[in-house]
Structure 1
């Protein structure tokens, strides 16, 4: 009699599950139901007690139910992931805004009349001439660009790495295969190209706003005024000046950031599992910050010359560019570059190869905390928002 009651209860659980997930099953999505029914038949054929069977089946039903996510829940998870990426970008860039502005000023200043001679002197000069607000000039536009850029970049990497891993496992025939550093670099490059292309006009406008100083002609009153003025005076495509070197530069930069960060994290986790089998293999926040710092340093060192070329190309067509760069209101010779190759050639010819690394030191100081904060903030935000998947999963 007790077994009959058990069978009836199990039957009701199964019917409830089939009814609850009927639509998902028709779409072929409820793989948990199939596994549930298979496990149920095994439990019914065993020698376990009726109470044990019911408890186990109830737990299996709960687990299988959680495997099926309605489209609305998936959309919410995507939104949460985008929010986490956006917050990570905003926090990391605002924290290093003074160094970001100094880097750009060093990149584009007149080599014959330099006003910024290094990180410390440059920061002191900005403070003396423009005050605290000078450190954050252009940061609002930068955040308006970097928030969506970071959101798209992190989410695109998640999707690209998942797709690449699926293809890699299918071609290799190894279901337990993991992403290699090279594959991670490819996924990061794809994410960087997508994010850069989607938000590049904002970067162009931000570059123009950032190089303005108190002594130079204040031609742009803000982000929207700058964008409209550029398109009106220089054409609609002017907001994409410097796009090519940016895309070329983002491939090693973002690709190496993700590849180095994840590979270094995986190596440290595996080492912890070997050296401390009884302890948690999870890395501390400080260790993750260190991984992000190493990743950022490697990526920006490789890609930095292309960033210099991009900034200089963005100044082309701006009739007051020379005055803005020298900040003395006297030099009116227009800045002329005919494409990426010509910009590279003239920069090296007139200023030497060292010019390709102008601003590298403040940029390095900026990158260490910026990239580290971005990665860690992203993971922390996903934990707070309850997003289940994460970068290294």
Structure 2
């Protein structure tokens, strides 16, 4: 940070966009699995899909392959902001702290890395929240308009708050993912370097291990933030006594567990992990190669 090195920000944004394109259909199935079966939302009470493969096949057959990439542009826009800020802040901040620590220790210091990752994840996710809302709405299939028109419609009907719906759960989820994923990747990479060297095989194995931990830790918050983002509350609208909505993260958590059981918090876990694995592999391989190129 002290030498104003912007390369981690640029590499993080570019690698995030590449990874997003490669894994987006899996993310679409995850989102659709997470919003189904809600007792309080009449639009999504029905259990339409039995799992990831069934969701993938039915969506392709009923709506076309293109539907699996519905929401890709807000997702790319999200990664251009979220990925750039998250990875750039993490790598720059931990380098700066390591350089200024009194003990002059190694840059790979677990408590420092965990703090930097959680801070970077939460901050970047909060800033990029409107793009996440757009992505979720388009993935569910309710929004057929383009990116700009969808953004305008949400702002017109729901106001600024509509674009930051679910920001609490989103930031918490991103903080948890980053706090587990980034230090785990760095620790695994360091541990495997004597045997594998700083090689693509090392980057592959480290990113796969880091993905499992982050998927287990983050899926409940991912379910909650997806449901919060997908619900609509129009400006000036008085909620009817017969109409139920989630009031926030805790209320969504309690109602989901009460109405659907604890395992409902892990709806979409398989596609979450199967997406995180390839996503991280593509990201870290791309990121490491960009470091070598420049």
2:42 alignment partner in structure 1: none
* CA RMSD after TM alignment: 2.0
Whole-angstrom CA distance in 2 between matches of 1:99 and 1:283: 29
User: Do the aligned residues in 2 keep the contact of 1:156 with 1:194 (CA within 8 Å)?
Assistant: no
Alignment of 1:195 onto 2:124: yes
Return the match for 1:228 from 133, 152, 155.
152
Map 1:258-269 onto structure 2 (within 5 A). 258-269=182-193
Tell me if 1:340 matches 2:249. Answer: yes
Match for residue 9 of structure 2? 82
1:133 aligns with 2:57: no
Paired with 1:297 and 1:130, the residues of 2 have a C-alpha distance of 31
Equivalent residues in 2 for 1:111-122, closer than 5 Å: 112-122=45-55
Deviation at 1:164, TM superposition (A): 2.4
Count matched residues: 280
CA contact (8 A) 2:208 2:281 kept: yes
Runs of 4 or more, structure 1, over 4 Å off, are none
Matched, 1:110 2:41: no
In structure 2, C-alpha distance between the alignment counterparts of 1:267 and 1:308, rounded to whole Å:
33
SS in 1 for 2:288: helix
Alpha-carbon separation, structure 2, partners of 1:159 and 1:132:
39
Match of 1:100 in 2: 27
> 2: distance between equivalents of 1:294 and 1:104?
23
CA deviations over 1:31-75 (Å, ceiling 9, x no partner): xxxxxxxxxxxxxxxxxxxxxxxxxxxxxxxxxxxxxxxx9xx66
The alpha-carbon deviation at position 334 of structure 1 amounts to 5.5
1:239 maps to which residue?
A: 163
1:207 aligned onto 2:136: yes
Distance 1:113 1:178 in 2: 50
Q: Which structure ranks higher in relative contact order (CA pairs < 8 Å, sequence separation ≥ 6)? A: 2
Larger-gyration structure (1/2) = 1
1:160–1:190 CA contact under 8 A, matched in 2? no
Equivalent residue, structure 1, for 2:229? 314
* 1:91-150 alpha-carbon deviations (Å, 9 max, x no partner): 111111111000000000135521111111111111111222122111122111112211
- Contact map agreement 1:164 1:187 (CA 8 A) in 2: no
Per the alignment, residue 276 of structure 2 pairs with 367
Native 8 Å contact 2:30 2:272 kept in 1? yes
Give the direction of change, closer, same or farther, for the CA distance of 1:82–1:285 in structure 2 (3 Å limit). same
CA contact (8 A) 1:316 1:335 kept: no
Rounded Cα–Cα distance in structure 2 between residues aligned with 1:334 and 1:265: 50
- Whether contact under 8 Å (2:123, 2:171) holds in the other structure is no
Q: 2:208 aligns with which of 293, 305, 330?
A: 293
Give the C-alpha shift of residue 335 in structure 1: 5.5
- CA distance in structure 1 between the aligned counterparts of 2:105 and 2:96, rounded to whole angstroms: 15
TM-fit CA distance, 1:189: 0.9
Tell me the equivalent position of 2:198.
283
Residues 315, 335 of structure 1: 8 Å contact kept: no
Whole-Å separation in 1 of the counterparts to 2:277 and 2:254: 30
Distance 2:76 2:149 in 1: 17
Over residues 149-176 of structure 1, what are the superposed CA-to-partner deviations in whole Å (9 max), with x where a residue is unaligned?
Answer: 1111111012210232134x31xxx334
8 Å contact 1:204–1:241 — kept in the other structure? yes
Contact 2:162 2:233 in 1 (8 A): no
Partner of 1:305: 220
Structure 1's 303 and 371: CA in aligned 2 closer, same or farther, altered over 3 A?
Answer: same
Q: Which residue of 2 aligns with 1:162?
A: 95
Tell me the TM-score normalised to structure 1 length: 0.67
TM-score (norm 2): 0.89
